[in-house]
Structure 1
Amino acid sequence: MKSHILLSSPVLFLAFFLQAMSLAHGHYSDQHWYEPREQHVLSAPENARPMPSLIIDTFQNPTHNDLGFWHGAGEDLAMQYQPGSMQLFPTDPDQNYHTQFETNGCFSMIPWRNQFLHVEFVGTDQFTVSLNEHNEDCYPHRAPFPGVPDSIEASRYMMKMGHGSTGHDGDGHEHDEPIREEHGKKQISKDNGGGDEDDQTPAAPPKKELFIPLSHFLINQNRVVSVSFSGFYTNRSITLHRVEIVSSVPPPRKENNYFKIPEKLPTGELILRCTRPKSFAFGIDDGSPRFAQEVMRILDEENVRVTFFAVGAGLRDTTTNLTRFYREMLKKGHQVALHSNTHPKMEALPTIDKIDNEIIQAQRTLKEQLGIECDSNNNGSVARGGNLAVMHFLNPTTVGYLRQFIRHVKGSGFKIMRIDQCMEDPDSPPLS
């Protein structure tokens, strides 16, 4: 019988599980998603006439945007606020900054569907912009929340002005100002050519602009919850000045290097929930080899099948004994899926080739070590609606509550199965 694996990447796998369980929900609850606001933007019906431009955020308030809803950071992203701007100091590609369209419901972008997301900023363009979809209930206390995002690479949509006007040199390199530490705070280091810093004020760097068609975000735009900035490919800072929806883009001309909107790149399907009714699936990442046998015993005694995501480097390391463990798991009917070659932060890798290599080398390793052929076409809280959960077996605490969690899921009326089964993959084995 041919074995299948799930191909996974930060865009697909990390988000695949991150927002589908209660721990992920708790992560976002720390970000004031549910705070009520005095202002409220009404969603227009789908057949309404196109709306005028919509100003989302001009950063006039440190905690609220122009719509009256929350804006702020996650994953310990350092920020510095000044009226009219929010400077972000990323140190990790998983860090993010959100500005909300709504608090407790869904916001419809349909009236603006033919318009453009316009962002004014200063600093690096090595980041992604996402439009984030709410869950089906438009209710923040149901998982997953936030729901499905679709992301674009900011640099592809940047309107590059003539030489010297965007902070780029002749080779296209940015002249971002270096950041230095002073008294525990991030400061911008200014070089004024050797003069007295108190006597000279450097000219403000020119703003850069993004123009992104809303149609390039392939989500359900009847239930949008926020626009966000993440996937920072560099530690250089970015200062946001304006986020809005506009009806047109500047015409191509010499001054903007004949700017035109690029084509939308292919977008993979992002899976956050099982589709089979009353199903529940565990995705178990690599862990500590010394806990592997305990995990196997619990799964055997509870008579459940799960999906393991294996890192290629761990399989090649003969001291871990993980290859023998996963071979045994395959014999018992569990699924083994792809979790990259060395488990880097994919969005921090500098080139597409390096990202591809992480997948290709892992595919080869799973074939050589486990005899698994890749099928490239198969790509919470229970009470709150989550039915996909991720875990690691890295410490005794995690392994210790696995049995209790399994029994809680069963007691809630769900049947635990592999991910391909919960997604109703026609090539998955039948349920026992």
Structure 2
Amino acid sequence: MVSIAASTGRVVFVPKGDGSSYFYESFDCQQAITKGYGAIQFTVEGPAGASMAFELQTASSCAAYNGDAHNSSWTVVENLTGSRQLINLPLIGFDSNPNYDAIVGLVWSTFSKTGVQWSIGDITLVCGPVTVPSPTSTTVLTTASPTTRPTNTRSTIPPTSTANPSVCSSNLLIDDWASQSRLTFLGYNALGQPSSDDGSMSSVVVSGNRVLLSPRNSASYFYSQFGCLNVNKYGGISLRIRAARGTSFALTVSWYTTCGSATGVKTVSLTTAQLNWVFDGTERLYWFPFSVYTGVDTTKLDMIFFSNFNAGVILGPVSFFCGTTGTEYKLPAPSPAAAALTRSTTPASVPNVKNYVVDTFSKQDTNDLGEWHGADEDGMIITFGNKEMTIRTNDSDLSWNTQLANKCADLRPYAGGYLHIAYRGSNKFSVALQQHNSKCDENIKPFPETWDSVEAPRYSSSSDIYIPINHFNVNLTRTLGFTLKGFYSTDPTTITKIEIVDAPPKTWTLKTPAKLASGKLVFACTRPNSFAFAIDDGDPKYTKRVMEILKSANIPITFFTVGLPLLDTKNGLADAYKDMASRGHQIALHSFTHPKMEGLATDAEIDWELTNDIGAVKQVFPNLKSSYFRPPFGTEGARMRQRLAANLNDPNPYIVNWSIDVEDWIWAQSDTPRKQLDAFKRDLAAGGNLLVMHYLYESTVELLPEFIQLAKGSGKKLMRVDQCLEDPAAPALT
């Protein structure tokens, strides 16, 4: 301390500014619980708004205590008034589960304001049972160690739950924030119920089983619904929260008087201050028993509603807890990942490659072969330096290309060679070799016809990438160019050279990895004179109309279904797709929550999408095993393709994109919705025969009969995707 003195029953002190100051009281071991004590009480006077840490020192037992070793548990006293005030710390809720029947010392430390006077006095063990603070209590307690982040913290509201622990064995998850797209694209929580901010937040970002809520203003809110759920066997709700000091918000719990009634909903709101929740920038577990929400009917719970934020917050897993003490939901250990599948490569002789330099980036528009290089769409930031190019992007759907020829390039003489890319920075991207269409004509759909991708990090050192040419499973007689795509990091990548060499240098010590199976990427039907309608996700309210149109047209098509909405028992999709399947339509995979899968940060996140989608389809269609997958937004890359093959245990699954796009995402809700018809005609005239559309919009659905008539009018036979790709396992044509 800078200074310390006793005065009229109090200790008065000025803490140092280096954080080393503390004051302690030690005494004979006290069996507080046995003797009927329920709390520690003291008075404190400190600067307004200040905080300090309070340490409770305990032994394993009073009988075993010899005055030496002790255990420490912590809480934090915050938001002091600036005047002398009474602090009451119930003997419950400290971190690390201390033995309250063997208290040996008390310590005050970590004073938030130094160089000014503080005082502490009237330190007492208070008799009586622990009581629940009322919702209007102003006690300012948290449970965080001032020096280390606790691993088992809890809210400071003592429990008075009426839950029956004998019928509840584990927490019921409300949301584990497993997926950005589940929350913000589909609007579901882990219960499969609606969850959203309705656009009121500035941003809602999911990462690492956490969600960052950034309010736009005080009117921003966020909710998670339960669906008139009976949670009577649970004690309350717990969640992990990280928020800055001084953060506050309100939590409203609502319930139905009668399930299904639009008007019979009751609510009770409490602020974080009323719940005695205070924050200091560390993540901790907070919880409340249902009993603090007066009158709540836990047999018909509707939702929890967060509002009146004064700052952003990070929420961790939210759950209903069992028993009378708040516990956190423990994320399950990840299931073992499906083993990647390898595929054999065609042996090729080592070429005598001399100076096959593709690109040294001396020009912005063309490469060293005099062919075009550049990004295929706006949004990718490309900068050129002294014979180098830097790529920055936050969109895994964007790519950069360097062409080998204006028409088709024959790479067979180099089949035994290696693609060499000299780089620095991030290597989190895919490298693809594009295959031209059979006419080597960019005006004919599809263009390119296909490509195969490999995962750059598997072939990389910190400065070079060497990929065997025969690891690209394409027709080498008509290659088009190399592509860098599927970026899954926003860190920049700088490329200084792209070339084909006969072998890595002798100084190269990395072993060439096995080629991983990556499926078949298709954009068009292969069966002569065929055409396939492949319809993606839609709005359930249009399902009946789509079925009527298809029945009237008497054509089979393919539906790529998103898994999570398929499991929603309220929207009727499962029954609709069962009916479609019974009528001969093909049901195929389209991810679980519809993210840009190649942009997901880890293979585990990609696996989560795939395994849950496969499981959802299996649940609705027990006898269906589909090897057809359409990547959401058409975004694909090596990692997604490799994990698809692994999770399906099929080295050659179909990754189905399209050669006809009605562009409903552009025109369906515009003032000119019939431009969808123009887009269809344009791509059909260019040779397209595999369609993408959605039944999300009324205008698109009502144009479907015209799309069908145009396809029939082209003289092509309409069929399912598996039929148009001549899959031997597909149903016979009728």
What TM-score does the superposition give when structure 1 sets the normalisation length? 0.73
Q: Which residue of 1 aligns with 2:454?
A: 152
Q: Is residue 542 of structure 2 the alignment partner of residue 277 of structure 1?
A: no
1:80 Cα deviation (Å)?
1.9
1:348 Cα deviation (Å)?
2.1
What is the distance in 2 between the residues matched to 1:263 and 1:288?
43
What is the distance in 2 between the residues matched to 1:308 and 1:431?
18
Q: Which residue of 1 aligns with 2:412?
A: 110
1:299 Cα deviation (Å)?
1.4
Contact kept in structure 2, 1:61 and 1:83, CA below 8 Å: no
Q: Is residue 344 of structure 2 the alignment partner of residue 93 of structure 1?
A: no
Counterpart of 1:116, as a letter, is Y
Contact kept in structure 2, 1:366 and 1:372, CA below 8 Å: no
| More deviation, 283-292/121-130 | 283-292
Q: Which residue of 2 aligns with 1:74?
A: 376
SS at match of 1:118: strand
Give CA-to-partner distance per residue, 1:203-233, whole Å, 9 cap, x none.
Answer: xxxxx11111111111111111110101111
Counterpart of 2:432, as a letter, is S
Give CA-to-partner distance per residue, 1:361-410, whole Å, 9 cap, x none.
Answer: 22221122243421555643233222211111122332233222211111
Q: Which residue of 2 aligns with 1:429?
A: 731
Contact kept in structure 1, 2:352 and 2:502, CA below 8 Å: no
What is the distance in 1 between the residues matched to 2:432 and 2:686?
24
What is the distance in 2 between the residues matched to 1:68 and 1:370?
53
Q: Is residue 550 of structure 2 the alignment partner of residue 247 of structure 1?
A: no
1:150 Cα deviation (Å)?
0.9
Closer, same or farther in 2 for the Cα pair 1:68/1:400, shift >3 Å? farther
Contact kept in structure 2, 1:286 and 1:393, CA below 8 Å: yes
Closer, same or farther in 2 for the Cα pair 1:346/1:403, shift >3 Å? same
Q: Is residue 541 of structure 2 the alignment partner of residue 290 of structure 1?
A: yes
Q: Which residue of 2 aligns with 1:125?
A: 427
| More deviation, 127-136/315-324 | 315-324
Q: Which residue of 2 aligns with 1:18?
A: none
SS at match of 1:227: strand
What is the distance in 1 between the residues matched to 2:357 and 2:730?
47
What TM-score does the superposition give when structure 2 sets the normalisation length? 0.44
1:130 Cα deviation (Å)?
0.5
What is the distance in 2 between the residues matched to 1:159 and 1:147?
31
SS at match of 2:454: strand
What is the distance in 2 between the residues matched to 1:371 and 1:218?
33
Counterpart of 1:221, as a letter, is L
Closer, same or farther in 2 for the Cα pair 1:56/1:234, shift >3 Å? same
What is the distance in 2 between the residues matched to 1:149 and 1:427?
24
Counterpart of 1:95, as a letter, is L
Q: Which residue of 2 aligns with 1:352?
A: 603
| More deviation, 310-319/72-81 | 72-81
Contact kept in structure 2, 1:326 and 1:370, CA below 8 Å: no
SS at match of 1:367: helix
Which of residues 362, 365, 368 is equivalent to 2:616? 365
1:264 Cα deviation (Å)?
1.8
SS at match of 1:130: strand
Q: Which residue of 2 aligns with 1:261?
A: 512
Contact kept in structure 2, 1:251 and 1:259, CA below 8 Å: no
What is the distance in 2 between the residues matched to 1:358 and 1:428?
26
SS at match of 1:356: helix
Which of residues 364, 368, 371 is equivalent to 1:62? 364
- Describe how 1:164-179 pairs up with structure 2 within 5 A: none
Give CA-to-partner distance per residue, 1:33-89, whole Å, 9 cap, x none.
Answer: xxxxxxxxxxxxx99x84423111111111111111111112421222234122111
What is the distance in 2 between the residues matched to 1:294 and 1:397?
12
SS at match of 1:366: helix
Q: Is residue 570 of structure 2 the alignment partner of residue 322 of structure 1?
A: no
1:239 Cα deviation (Å)?
1.5
SS at match of 1:144: coil
Structure number with the higher helix fraction is 1
Contact kept in structure 1, 2:429 and 2:455, CA below 8 Å: yes
Could you tell me which runs of 5 or more consecutive residues in structure 1 were left unpaired when the two chains were aligned.
1-45, 161-207
| Greater relative contact order, per chain length (Cα 8 Å cut-off, separation 6+) | 1
Which of residues 375, 382, 385 is equivalent to 2:687? 385
Q: Which residue of 1 aligns with 2:474?
A: 219
1:270 Cα deviation (Å)?
2.4
Counterpart of 2:694, as a letter, is H
1:96 Cα deviation (Å)?
0.3
What is the distance in 2 between the residues matched to 1:426 and 1:158?
39
Counterpart of 1:92, as a letter, is D
Q: Is residue 555 of structure 2 the alignment partner of residue 300 of structure 1?
A: no
Structure number with the higher strand fraction is 2
Which of residues 664, 681, 701 is equivalent to 1:399? 701
Q: Which residue of 2 aligns with 1:6?
A: none
| More deviation, 415-424/347-356 | 347-356
- Describe how 1:189-200 pairs up with structure 2 within 5 A: none
Contact kept in structure 1, 2:353 and 2:501, CA below 8 Å: no
Could you tell me which runs of 5 or more consecutive residues in structure 2 were left unpaired when the two chains were aligned.
1-347, 627-647, 655-659, 661-682
Number of equivalenced pairs: 335
SS at match of 1:150: strand
Contact kept in structure 2, 1:323 and 1:369, CA below 8 Å: yes
Structure number, greater radius of gyration: 2
Contact kept in structure 1, 2:392 and 2:492, CA below 8 Å: yes
Q: Which residue of 2 aligns with 1:171?
A: none
SS at match of 1:229: strand
Closer, same or farther in 2 for the Cα pair 1:425/1:261, shift >3 Å? closer
Contact kept in structure 1, 2:396 and 2:596, CA below 8 Å: yes
What is the distance in 1 between the residues matched to 2:562 and 2:518?
24
Closer, same or farther in 2 for the Cα pair 1:122/1:360, shift >3 Å? same
Q: Which residue of 2 aligns with 1:200?
A: none
What is the distance in 2 between the residues matched to 1:358 and 1:367?
14
1:127 Cα deviation (Å)?
0.6
SS at match of 2:453: strand
What is the distance in 2 between the residues matched to 1:71 and 1:401?
38
What is the distance in 2 between the residues matched to 1:370 and 1:215?
38
SS at match of 1:151: strand
| More deviation, 279-288/416-425 | 416-425
